[in-house]
A and B are shown apart, each in its own frame.
Chain A
Amino acid sequence: MPFPPAIARGLAHMMLDQETLDELEGLTINDAGHGFDPFGMHLDFVRLSVGITRWFYQKYFRVISIGNEKVPATGPAVLACNHSGTVPIDGMMLWSDVVRTTGRVPRAIADHFVPTLPWVGVLFARGGMVGGSRGNARALLENGEILMIFPEGTPGIGKNFSERYQLQKWRVGHAELAIRHGAPVIPVAIIGAEEQMPQLAKIPGFGAVPYLPIPLTPVPMPVRYRILYGDPVPTDKDYRPEDADDPERVREASRRVEEAVKGLIEEGLRLRGGRLFT
């Protein structure tokens, strides 16, 4: 895969129409020199990533975005979302949706092993993904960026089909970060990803990757994605930064986010009815 920014720029121009390119002109990054931010993100690769995901976003998964105006236009924020689908396409679609509808580049917080994946780790980093360490998240929030966190982590995408739309253990780190850095949490639910690639089994301990999934289908099915954004949980207003060191306050904030995501899932399923593909 050719990686110099000039090639990424050329490819993005081939993949995207002028109107989309114009919209993406307004994107900004914290340029640490030479066009890259300290984590390796580059706007030409962001545009290329929009180009790569465009067909999936528009044609294959036909994403319906509901409530994206609730994502703050400026300042730090945390998007907390349910996670599913055997492969993390839900993350790509959410990323794409936020870039397209808000003009901000969300920073996906990935599991630790992702940077160890050859080529994939680099491509994701160029598009804005960062490894899931506390230090990375802190630096991004201090810089006023939007984090995209899946509090269920890998167990979310690794759950079996029978557990679809059941949240796995909801970790509290997102709430702690949001409280500490004065950022609101925007709950997000993704409907559709659960059915894209039903997982039958998994082989544990595959190198740095926690497991190797055994899905029912070799590729994801063209289910329709519905992305629902909820009202922000005002962790920046209802809590003081020092509450981040109070485990009970953090758990309480996390529960509020979890309940909000559950509510959005129910709402999304109600809106969808039995229509998986339309």
Chain B
Amino acid sequence: MIPGAYGGDFFRSPIRGVMVTGATTPVGERLVRELLADDTVGRVLAVGLEPEDQALSFTDPDRLVYRQVDLGRSRRAHELLFGVARELEVEVVIHTAMHRSAHDRGQRVRAQNVEALRTLLDLSERHPTIRRLVFKSSAEVYQVQYDLPVLITEDHPINLAPGAPQFIRDRVEADMTACARMGLFNLEIIVVRMAEILAPGTGSQLFDYLEAPLCLRPAGFDPMINVLSLDDSVRALELAGRAMGVQGVFNIGGADTLPLSAAIQKWGRMGLPMPGGVLPFFYRARSRLRGSEFSYGMNRRRFHYAAVLDATRARRVLGFEPTERVNWPGQMLDTGP
């Protein structure tokens, strides 16, 4: 039984079917695996963009069904939900599919990030078996600013900067779209705003940043950051999927809260403080030359000012407590701020 406001035994109550989008991403794949390991879950419908033979590294002919569907196309999404999802009696949709490259932009990317969710919400609201939709959002929707609280609660200001890159704008719009539908229909909606998952293939800006042997950061600043492990992120999604009767927005913080310099050190990299004005040029050049994902412009504020998710609500209501730390590969000396 999960302790908390809802205190029921929803954690062990059986679910006939769960649909996981973004099933071929590290988070989605791990989530599908965990759901299959849970005997209270009936069937799992995994949805991804990849062809079936390249999609998942495991099979379960009795309980796992994979479908290659571009959810940005509403007709395909409709066929999926009112076809195989209805047949499998899917009760819970866990939507994790988001475009992961920070540099890609355009209508096709937006369709995947925003329109796919809008379509899923539209269809789920009138679906005969779906009762619940969990949307995996991220801490990137929050505004980071020197005069805002360090501990970010769910009512923290959202980053609505008009000059924000599409990567951020899409995430904010998707998050707001899900929030705007809460309580209007019988469909239960949960938005989980996750701290950055420090793992490959998750679209983590920080992971890409830490991949460089030398990590430049603004001199004189060493903000606190919070990162989430893959295991904890999957567990949070499972809990959100099972918390029947619960709606709302929940921050999911990780077990690692530390200064940026310590993160660099623990990742086994050399940190080098540099004047902040130099960093955009350096990282733009790195991105062009090496095709890396990290954008200093997108992270400038969080590289100056502390921002840590306050996950009290998730702990109280969902019973989520981060337990698994990121696997920090090593340590080297950092030269300080």
- Residues on A close to B: CB < 8 A? 1-4, 7, 32-34, 36, 38-40, 112-113, 115-119, 121-122, 125, 130-131, 133-136, 139, 208
Q: Which residue of B lies closest to A115 (CB)?
A: B146
Asked whether, in the complex, the Cβ of B221 is within 8 Å of the Cβ of A33, the reply is no
In the assembled complex, which residues on chain B have CB atoms less than 8 Å from the CB atom of A40? 150, 222-224, 259, 306
13 new A-B pairs (CB below 8 Å) besides A34-B258, A135-B150? A1-B336, A2-B335, A7-B336, A32-B226, A32-B257, A40-B222, A40-B223, A117-B220, A121-B220, A131-B149, A134-B149, A135-B149, A139-B310
Contact with A along B245-268 (1 / 0, CB 8 A): 000000000011111011001100
Q: How far is the CB of B301 from chain A (nearest CB, A)?
A: 11
Docked complex Cα distance between A33 and B195 (Å) = 15
* List of 6 A-B pairs having minimum Cβ-Cβ separation, nearest first: A118-B220, A135-B149, A3-B336, A32-B257, A112-B147, A34-B258
Report yes or no: A39 in contact with B219, Cβ–Cβ below 8 A. Answer: no
- Asked whether A36 lies within 8 Å of B257 as measured between CB atoms, the reply is yes
Per-position binary interface string of chain B over residues 306-334, scored 1 when its CB falls under 8 Å from any chain A CB and 0 otherwise: 10101000000000000001000000011
Contacts known (A33-B255, A38-B224); A118 close to B150, Cβ less than 8 A:
no
* A118-B220, A119-B337, A121-B221 known; A139 vs B149 contact (CB < 8 Å): yes
Docked-complex contact B334 and A4, CB < 8 angstroms: yes
Contact A4 B265 (CB under 8 A): yes
Check A135–B151 contact: CB distance below 8 A. Answer: yes
In angstroms, Cα B271 to Cα A177, docked, is 39
B153 at the interface (CB under 8 A from A): yes
Q: Are B153 and A135 in contact (CB under 8 A)?
A: yes
**Assembly CA distance A136 to B145 (angstroms):** 13
Nearest CB on B from A119, distance (A):
5
- Report how far A116 CA is from B151 CA in the complex, Å: 17
Q: Please name all residues of chain B whose beta carbon is closer than 8 Å to the beta carbon of A38 when the two chains form the complex.
A: 150-151, 224, 226, 257, 306, 308, 310
B328 nearest in chain A by CB position: A34
Residues of B within 8 A of A113 (CB): 146
Smallest beta-carbon distance A27→chain B, Å? 19
> Is B66 among interface residues, defined by CB-CB distance under 8 A?
no
Given the complex, which residues of B lie within 8 Å of A36, measured CB to CB? 224, 257-259, 262
Please tell me if the beta carbons of A136 and B259 are within 8 angstroms of each other in the complex: no
User: In this complex, what residue of B is CB-closest to A116?
Assistant: B146
**Residues from chain A with Cβ under 8 Å of B262 in the complex:** 4, 34, 36
Q: Closest Cβ of chain B: how far from A110's Cβ, in Å? A: 11
Tell me if B303 counts as interface (CB < 8 A to partner A).
no
Q: Which residues of the partner chain A approach B306 to less than 8 Å between Cβ atoms?
A: 38-40, 115, 125
CB-defined A-B contacts under 8 Å, sample of 11: A3-B337, A33-B257, A33-B258, A38-B151, A38-B310, A39-B150, A40-B150, A112-B147, A116-B304, A121-B220, A133-B148
**What residues of chain B lie closer than 8 Å to A2, measured between beta carbons?**
335-336
Q: Which of B215-248 contact A (CB under 8 A)?
A: 219-224, 226
Selected contact of B256 from candidates A1, A34, A117, A135, CB within 8 Å: A34
Task: Say whether A3 contacts B222, CB under 8 Å.
Answer: yes
Q: Chain A nearest CB: distance from B154 CB in Å? A: 12
Is there a chain A Cβ closer than 8 Å to B296's Cβ?
no
Q: A34-B258, A40-B306 are in contact. Are A131 and B146 (CB under 8 A)?
A: yes
Q: Whose C-beta in chain B lies nearest to the C-beta of A6?
A: B333
Interface centre among B265, B334, B336 (most CB of A within 10 A): B336
Q: A32-B257, A34-B262, A122-B337 are in contact. Are A136 and B147 (CB under 8 A)?
A: no
B11 in the interface (beta carbon within 8 A): no
In the complex the two chains form, what is the Cα distance from A112 to B145 in whole Å? 10
**Chain A hits for B226, CB < 8 A:** 32, 38
**A247 CA / B100 CA spacing, docked (Å):** 48
B294 at the interface (CB under 8 A from A): no
**Could you tell me if B219 and A34 are in contact, using CB atoms closer than 8 angstroms?**
no
Whether B167 is near chain A, meaning CB under 8 Å from some CB there, is no
Collect the chain A residues with CB atoms within 8 Å of residue B135's CB. none
CB distance from A216 to the nearest CB of B (A): 29
Give A130 to B333 CA distance when docked, in angstroms: 27
Please measure, in the bound complex, the distance between the C-alpha atom of A118 and the C-alpha atom of B219, giving whole angstroms: 7
Partner of B146, one of A39, A112, A118, A135: A112
For B305, what are the chain A residues with a Cβ–Cβ distance below 8 Å?
A: 115
Name which of B151, B304, B310 has the most chain A CB atoms within 10 A of its CB. B151
Q: How far is the CB of B206 from chain A (nearest CB, A)?
A: 15
Contact yes or no, B151 A139, CB < 8 A: yes
Residue of B nearest to A111 (CB): B147
Residues in B neighbouring A136, C-beta threshold 8 A: 149-151
Complex interface bits, B44-68 against A, C-beta within 8 A gives 1, otherwise 0: 0000000000000000000000000
Residues of A within 8 A of B304 (CB): 116
By beta carbon, the residue of chain A nearest B304 is A116
Using Cβ atoms and an 8 Å threshold, which residues of chain A touch B335? 2
Residue of B nearest to A40 (CB): B224
Residue among B224, B304, B334, B335 having the largest count of chain A Cβ atoms under 10 Å: B224
Chain B nearest CB from A242 CB (Å) reads 20
Distance in angstroms between the alpha carbons of A51 and B11 in the assembled complex: 51
**What residues on B are CB-neighbors of A4 within 8 Å?**
261-262, 265, 333-334, 336
